[in-house]
Each structure stands twice: as C-alpha cells, then as structure tokens.
Amino acid sequence: MILRATLAVLALAIGLASPAFAQETRSFTAANGTFDIPVAPQRIVALNDQIVALPLYELGAPLVGSAGRTDADGNHFLRGGMDTLGIDYANTDIAYVGGFNGLDLEAIAALSPDLIIGGPYTDPDVAEQLQKVAPTLLIDNGALGLVDTLKTLADVSGKSGSFDARYQRYLDNVERAKSYIGDTSVISITMTFMFPAGEELWVYRAGLGAIAQVLDDVGFAQPAVVAALAETQASWSAELIQDLDADFVFGFYRQQPDATPETIFAAYEKFAPGWCQALTACQNGQFVLLPGPTFGSTMAGLDLALELVENTVAGRPFTPFVEAP
C-alpha cells in the first residue's frame, strides 16, 4: 500500500515536471543493471553528497540536486562541501533532495533530471521507483575503490577528459613526492580514527578515502598487525595500542564540528590513558593529526592529502621505529 501511494505521488510529480528532451544515449552497466544514459547529461541528481555530488561538482558536471545532511538546527548541508570545495546548498544551484536514506522523490522528479546517481547505500526499491524519472545508476564505490569510482563518475557524466588531466597531474605529483622522500617501502605509517567522545579507536588498513589512497600510491609500509587485518578497518583495544606503533601515526580532526585538534588529542588520552608513552611515534613528535578533508572522495582530497603527507615526511629528520621481529 505504501509503495503504491509513493508511486502515485511520484507519477504526479513526473507529470508536473518538464518533459524530457531528446538526447543522444549510450548503454552503461552499473551495479544495478544496464541502462541507456545520455551521452552528455544536462541535469544530474546525486543520491549521496560526499561520495557522488562533490566529485561531480568538482568535474564540472551539471549537478542540479543532491542528497545531503541536516544539522542540529535543521539546516541542510553537503558533507565535506565547504571543507573540500567551498560549496554548499547556499552558494550553489544544487537543490536539497533529502538525506541519502530518506530521499524526497517528489523533489527529485521536480528537478527533471536526465541522470540520477546513487550507490550501494541507496534503497533498491527507491532506485527502482526513480527509474521512472530518469536512468538511475547505482555505482558501487566500495567495490570500485576511490580512483575507479571517480573515473566512473567522470565517465557517466561525460567529463572523462577533465578527470584524466587532473588524475595524471596527481600521479606526477606522487612521483615527485616519492623522489623527495626516498625509499617509502621502509617507512611505516598507521591510520587511526578517533571521535571526540574517546570511546572507540578505529584502525584502517585501507578504505579511508583520499588519505588511504595517497599512502598506498606513495608506497608506505604498515605495521604487521595493521597489514594483516582481514577487513579494511577494525575497532581497536586500548590494551593493544602499542601494536600500532610506526614511523608515523596519523589521526584526524575536523570530521565533525567538535572534533578540534585539542578534543581529538584529549579523546586519545581518555581512550587509552598514557597512550603517547606507548607509541614511539608520539614520543618523537611523529603522531600527526590531519584535517578531515584529507579523506574526502575527491581529487581535491587526494591533492590535499598528498601535500600534507609530503610536508610531514619529506625533507625532515625523524626517529625511525624498529618493529620487533
């Protein structure tokens, strides 16, 4: 009954929307099937802000709507938009179309999109309903990884040329950074993630957006316990924090409003009192907090992460950590 009612409302919204214009199309296979999509889409709606909308905007794609977040005061915002690209709903023509898990189908239809892009987080039933509005592609960013997700978004939006040029510049800068740093395979780095509450510590082997991509591209090593993680990330025990020691240990701040550098340092202390003495990286000033945008899924995030990593590691003496055999 609920689905029929939703479809009826959606049909009305489609009827009110402007009729689609004739466009040259091509076939594209996404995670949810094969569809005819416009060769050069003119009105794209993103069903996720940080993973889909920001990369599309960065590419210069015609983004007319996006899912977003809502703060405690009821204001809608694009997660990472101001931090990474300096954009939000207020200073762009991007319309808010609900949360990624609470999409406003009428708002989407009213925008008359010719292409809709979501991901594995999109409700399959909702995606099926949106096929009545425009081809709705689910891009599996988890399976593709960051770079291939960006490449796919560039492809479906008709902006591959923009991506290729910028990605090549990034790869050139990776090689430059490696030439300054030296043999990166003998330098170990751990990625940790702590919220201000200090209740959980997460450790990442991979999958932490741009920063994880950069560390992998540059070729750094990881402590044995991190490299051996079965999953890309794991919740860590305070009693085992010394096992995370490395030449450099990275944490992050600014991933939420109260995540200042001071509150994040305090959170580590709350989680594992005396933690800094347990890590030679911290004792030697090689525990580094990076700003949250370094794990944004954009080329801007990759560029920022690379610059900060190069600035942290290259051209400076540091005390090597010798891992026990």
At 161-173, the pLDDT tens digits run 999 999 999 999 9
> Cα–Cα distance between 209 and 121 in angstroms, integer?
16
> Could you tell me which residues come within 8 angstroms of residue 10 by beta carbon, excluding any fewer than 6 positions away?
105, 106, 109, 129, 132, 133
Q: What is the pLDDT of residues 80-115, one digit of tens each?
A: 999 899 999 999 999 999 998 899 999 999 999 999
Q: Which domains does the chain have, with CATH numbers?
A: 25-157 (3.40.50.1980), 180-315 (3.40.50.1980)
Structure tokens at 241: 């924090």
Mean pLDDT in residue range 241-258: 92
Average pLDDT, the chain: 92
pLDDT at 51 exceeding the cut of 90 = yes
Element spanning 35, H or E:
strand 33-38
Whether the predicted pLDDT of 2 surpasses 70: no
* Residues 107, 95 contacting (CB under 8 angstroms): yes
The helix/strand count (H/E) of the chain reads as 13, 16
Residue 186 has pLDDT above 60, yes or no: yes
| Cβ within 8 Å of residue 32, ≥6 positions away | 124, 127, 136, 137, 138
Q: Which of 19-28, 118-127, 227-236, 237-246 has the lowest mean pLDDT?
A: 19-28
Could you report the per-residue pLDDT of 56-70, keeping only the tens digit for each?
A: 999 999 999 999 999
CA-CA distance, 15 to 52, in Å (whole number)? 27
Local confidence band at 19 (pLDDT 50, 70, 90 cut-offs): very low
What pLDDT score was predicted for residue 203?
98
Residue 6 has what pLDDT? 52
Tell me the pTM: 0.88
Q: Which helix (H) or strand (E) holds 10?
A: helix 2-16
Q: Does residue 11 carry a pLDDT above 70?
A: no
Query: How many Å apart are CA 124 and CA 103, to the nearest integer?
Result: 12
* pLDDT of 52: 97
Q: Sorting pLDDT into bands at 50, 70 and 90, what band is 1? A: very low
Q: What's the CA gap between 140 and 143, in Å, rounded?
A: 6
pLDDT of residue 21: 54
Least confident residue range of 227-231, 292-296, 302-306:
292-296
- For 310-321, write each residue's pLDDT tens digit: 999 998 889 999
Asked if residue 185 has pLDDT above 90, the reply is yes
Residue 308's pLDDT band, with cuts at 50, 70 and 90, is very high
pLDDT value for 18: 47
| Two tokens, residue 130 | 């949106």
